[in-house]
Amino acid sequence: MVAIDIPREKVFRELFVPSPFSDMTTNKSRCMTANLSDPDDVARYPIFQQLADEGIIGYAAFSRVFGTRQTVLSGLNEDYRGASISFCTGRFSGFSQSDLDGLNRLITPLCLCARIANDQFLTAELLETYLGRISGKQVLHGHSARGDGKSIECTLFYSDMRNSLGLSQSLEIGAYLATMNQYFTVRRARCWAMVVRR
Protein backbone atom coordinates (compact mmCIF):
# COMPACT_ATOMS: atom_id res chain seq x y z
CA MET A 1 0.00 0.00 0.00
CA VAL A 2 1.27 3.48 -0.89
CA ALA A 3 0.14 6.59 1.01
CA ILE A 4 0.13 9.86 -0.89
CA ASP A 5 -0.41 13.26 0.72
CA ILE A 6 -2.98 15.27 -1.21
CA PRO A 7 -3.48 18.99 -0.46
CA ARG A 8 -6.73 19.69 1.37
CA GLU A 9 -7.89 22.20 -1.25
CA LYS A 10 -7.60 19.54 -3.97
CA VAL A 11 -9.60 17.05 -1.89
CA PHE A 12 -12.41 19.57 -1.31
CA ARG A 13 -12.39 20.57 -4.99
CA GLU A 14 -12.49 16.94 -6.16
CA LEU A 15 -15.45 16.16 -3.87
CA PHE A 16 -17.66 18.26 -6.12
CA VAL A 17 -16.35 16.90 -9.44
CA PRO A 18 -18.51 14.07 -10.81
CA SER A 19 -16.80 10.88 -9.61
CA PRO A 20 -17.72 7.57 -7.99
CA PHE A 21 -16.36 8.76 -4.62
CA SER A 22 -18.25 12.07 -4.71
CA ASP A 23 -21.50 10.22 -5.42
CA MET A 24 -20.85 7.74 -2.62
CA THR A 25 -19.96 10.60 -0.27
CA THR A 26 -23.26 12.34 -1.01
CA ASN A 27 -25.05 9.08 -0.22
CA LYS A 28 -26.18 8.31 -3.77
CA SER A 29 -24.68 4.83 -3.52
CA ARG A 30 -22.69 2.57 -1.17
CA CYS A 31 -21.33 0.34 -3.94
CA MET A 32 -20.49 0.98 -7.57
CA THR A 33 -19.21 -1.24 -10.37
CA ALA A 34 -18.37 -0.50 -13.99
CA ASN A 35 -17.29 -2.39 -17.08
CA LEU A 36 -14.83 0.01 -18.70
CA SER A 37 -14.96 -1.84 -22.01
CA ASP A 38 -18.54 -0.52 -22.28
CA PRO A 39 -18.66 3.06 -23.70
CA ASP A 40 -21.82 3.83 -21.70
CA ASP A 41 -20.05 2.99 -18.42
CA VAL A 42 -16.93 4.92 -19.46
CA ALA A 43 -19.06 8.02 -20.12
CA ARG A 44 -20.38 8.10 -16.53
CA TYR A 45 -17.33 9.78 -14.97
CA PRO A 46 -14.15 11.48 -16.25
CA ILE A 47 -12.00 9.12 -14.12
CA PHE A 48 -13.47 6.14 -15.99
CA GLN A 49 -12.09 7.45 -19.28
CA GLN A 50 -8.64 7.85 -17.71
CA LEU A 51 -8.74 4.30 -16.34
CA ALA A 52 -9.98 2.86 -19.64
CA ASP A 53 -7.12 4.61 -21.44
CA GLU A 54 -4.72 2.79 -19.08
CA GLY A 55 -6.19 -0.59 -19.98
CA ILE A 56 -8.47 -1.05 -16.95
CA ILE A 57 -11.54 -3.22 -17.65
CA GLY A 58 -13.25 -3.72 -14.29
CA TYR A 59 -13.91 -1.07 -11.62
CA ALA A 60 -15.50 -1.57 -8.21
CA ALA A 61 -15.88 0.96 -5.38
CA PHE A 62 -17.34 0.53 -1.91
CA SER A 63 -18.12 2.96 0.91
CA ARG A 64 -18.79 2.59 4.62
CA VAL A 65 -20.07 5.21 7.06
CA PHE A 66 -19.22 5.19 10.78
CA GLY A 67 -20.20 7.31 13.76
CA THR A 68 -23.09 9.59 14.61
CA ARG A 69 -24.87 12.09 12.43
CA GLN A 70 -22.97 15.33 11.91
CA THR A 71 -22.45 18.00 9.30
CA VAL A 72 -18.92 17.68 7.92
CA LEU A 73 -19.02 19.93 4.84
CA SER A 74 -21.92 21.81 3.34
CA GLY A 75 -23.26 19.88 0.38
CA LEU A 76 -22.11 16.51 1.71
CA ASN A 77 -24.18 13.83 3.33
CA GLU A 78 -24.96 14.85 6.90
CA ASP A 79 -23.71 11.63 8.49
CA TYR A 80 -20.69 11.03 6.27
CA ARG A 81 -17.81 9.91 8.44
CA GLY A 82 -16.20 6.88 6.95
CA ALA A 83 -14.10 5.75 4.03
CA SER A 84 -14.37 4.74 0.39
CA ILE A 85 -12.11 2.26 -1.41
CA SER A 86 -11.91 1.36 -5.08
CA PHE A 87 -10.42 -1.61 -6.94
CA CYS A 88 -9.48 -1.98 -10.61
CA THR A 89 -8.50 -4.89 -12.80
CA GLY A 90 -7.12 -5.16 -16.31
CA ARG A 91 -8.38 -8.76 -16.57
CA PHE A 92 -10.30 -9.18 -19.83
CA SER A 93 -13.44 -10.43 -18.04
CA GLY A 94 -13.30 -7.72 -15.35
CA PHE A 95 -14.56 -8.60 -11.86
CA SER A 96 -16.70 -11.71 -11.43
CA GLN A 97 -19.58 -11.77 -8.94
CA SER A 98 -17.43 -14.00 -6.75
CA ASP A 99 -14.65 -11.37 -6.85
CA LEU A 100 -17.10 -8.63 -5.86
CA ASP A 101 -18.53 -10.72 -3.00
CA GLY A 102 -15.02 -11.35 -1.67
CA LEU A 103 -14.06 -7.67 -1.91
CA ASN A 104 -17.31 -6.66 -0.23
CA ARG A 105 -16.43 -8.85 2.77
CA LEU A 106 -13.08 -7.04 3.09
CA ILE A 107 -14.48 -3.52 2.86
CA THR A 108 -15.61 -2.94 6.44
CA PRO A 109 -12.27 -3.92 8.04
CA LEU A 110 -10.32 -2.03 5.34
CA CYS A 111 -12.46 1.09 5.80
CA LEU A 112 -12.05 0.87 9.58
CA CYS A 113 -8.26 0.72 9.16
CA ALA A 114 -8.38 3.69 6.76
CA ARG A 115 -10.53 5.64 9.21
CA ILE A 116 -8.20 4.90 12.14
CA ALA A 117 -5.14 5.86 10.08
CA ASN A 118 -6.87 9.09 9.04
CA ASP A 119 -7.81 9.96 12.65
CA GLN A 120 -4.22 9.29 13.78
CA PHE A 121 -2.90 11.51 10.99
CA LEU A 122 -5.30 14.36 11.87
CA THR A 123 -4.45 14.10 15.57
CA ALA A 124 -0.71 14.21 14.88
CA GLU A 125 -1.12 17.17 12.49
CA LEU A 126 -3.24 19.07 15.02
CA LEU A 127 -0.76 18.51 17.85
CA GLU A 128 2.22 19.45 15.66
CA THR A 129 0.46 22.61 14.47
CA TYR A 130 -0.44 23.89 17.94
CA LEU A 131 2.30 22.41 20.14
CA GLY A 132 5.20 22.01 17.70
CA ARG A 133 6.78 18.87 16.29
CA ILE A 134 8.66 17.74 19.43
CA SER A 135 6.02 18.59 22.04
CA GLY A 136 3.23 17.31 19.80
CA LYS A 137 4.90 13.89 19.50
CA GLN A 138 5.50 13.73 23.25
CA VAL A 139 1.83 14.41 23.98
CA LEU A 140 0.71 11.93 21.31
CA HIS A 141 2.86 9.17 22.83
CA GLY A 142 1.79 9.94 26.40
CA HIS A 143 5.19 11.29 27.50
CA SER A 144 3.80 14.55 28.83
CA ALA A 145 1.93 15.33 32.03
CA ARG A 146 1.05 18.52 33.86
CA GLY A 147 4.16 19.96 35.46
CA ASP A 148 6.59 18.10 33.19
CA GLY A 149 9.48 20.06 31.74
CA LYS A 150 12.49 19.41 29.57
CA SER A 151 15.45 21.42 28.31
CA ILE A 152 15.78 21.39 24.53
CA GLU A 153 17.79 23.29 21.95
CA CYS A 154 15.52 25.56 19.98
CA THR A 155 15.33 28.70 17.90
CA LEU A 156 12.61 31.24 18.58
CA PHE A 157 11.44 33.03 15.46
CA TYR A 158 9.33 36.17 15.50
CA SER A 159 8.21 37.86 12.32
CA ASP A 160 5.59 40.37 11.28
CA MET A 161 4.50 41.45 7.82
CA ARG A 162 4.27 45.17 7.12
CA ASN A 163 0.71 46.37 6.48
CA SER A 164 -0.83 43.01 7.41
CA LEU A 165 -3.90 44.73 8.87
CA GLY A 166 -4.38 46.82 5.73
CA LEU A 167 -4.11 43.74 3.54
CA SER A 168 -6.65 41.89 5.68
CA GLN A 169 -9.15 44.68 5.07
CA SER A 170 -8.51 45.11 1.33
CA LEU A 171 -8.09 41.50 0.12
CA GLU A 172 -10.60 38.68 -0.09
CA ILE A 173 -10.07 36.23 2.77
CA GLY A 174 -8.70 33.50 0.46
CA ALA A 175 -6.18 35.85 -1.15
CA TYR A 176 -5.13 37.23 2.25
CA LEU A 177 -4.56 33.78 3.76
CA ALA A 178 -2.62 32.65 0.66
CA THR A 179 -0.40 35.77 0.98
CA MET A 180 0.22 35.13 4.69
CA ASN A 181 0.98 31.45 4.11
CA GLN A 182 3.47 32.31 1.36
CA TYR A 183 5.09 34.98 3.55
CA PHE A 184 5.60 32.65 6.52
CA THR A 185 6.79 29.81 4.27
CA VAL A 186 9.52 32.05 2.81
CA ARG A 187 10.44 33.54 6.21
CA ARG A 188 10.67 30.09 7.81
CA ALA A 189 12.93 28.84 4.99
CA ARG A 190 15.24 31.86 5.36
CA CYS A 191 15.34 31.50 9.15
CA TRP A 192 16.20 27.79 8.81
CA ALA A 193 18.97 28.61 6.34
CA MET A 194 20.43 31.11 8.85
CA VAL A 195 20.33 28.53 11.67
CA VAL A 196 22.04 25.87 9.52
CA ARG A 197 24.79 28.28 8.45
CA ARG A 198 25.68 28.99 12.08
pLDDT of residue 80: 52
Q: Could you read off the pLDDT of 110-149 as tens digits, one per residue?
A: 888 888 888 888 888 888 888 888 788 888 888 777 777 7
Q: Could you read off the pLDDT of 4-48 as tens digits, one per residue?
A: 666 666 666 665 677 888 777 766 678 889 999 999 999 999 899
Minimal CA–CA distance to 196: which of 188, 96, 145? 188
For 30, half-sphere exposure in the C-beta direction (CA atoms, 13 angstrom radius) is 9
Residue 110: Cβ-neighbour burial (10 angstroms; 0-12, 13-18, 19+) = middle
Q: Which of residues 51 and 118 earns the better pLDDT score?
A: 51
The whole-angstrom separation of Cα 29 and Cα 64 is: 10
The whole-angstrom separation of Cα 27 and Cα 64 is: 10
Domains, the chain: 8-131 (3.30.450), 155-197 (no CATH)
- Tally Cβ neighbours within 10 Å of residue 141: 8
Query: Any idea what DSSP says for residue 55?
Result: T
Q: Which of residues 76 and 90 earns the better pLDDT score?
A: 90
Which helix (DSSP H) or strand (DSSP E) does residue 82 occupy? Answer: strand 82-89
pLDDT-above-70 percentage for the chain: 74
Q: Is the pLDDT of residue 56 over 70?
A: yes
pLDDT of residue 61: 92
Minimal CA–CA distance to 66: which of 119, 9, 1? 119
**DSSP of 5-40, one letter per residue?**
---HHHHHHHHTSS-HHHHHHTTS-SEEEEETTSHH
pTM of the model: 0.60
Residue 55: C-alpha distances to residues 38, 72, 80 (Å): 13, 36, 32
Residue 135: C-alpha distances to residues 81, 130, 131, 140 (Å): 29, 9, 6, 9
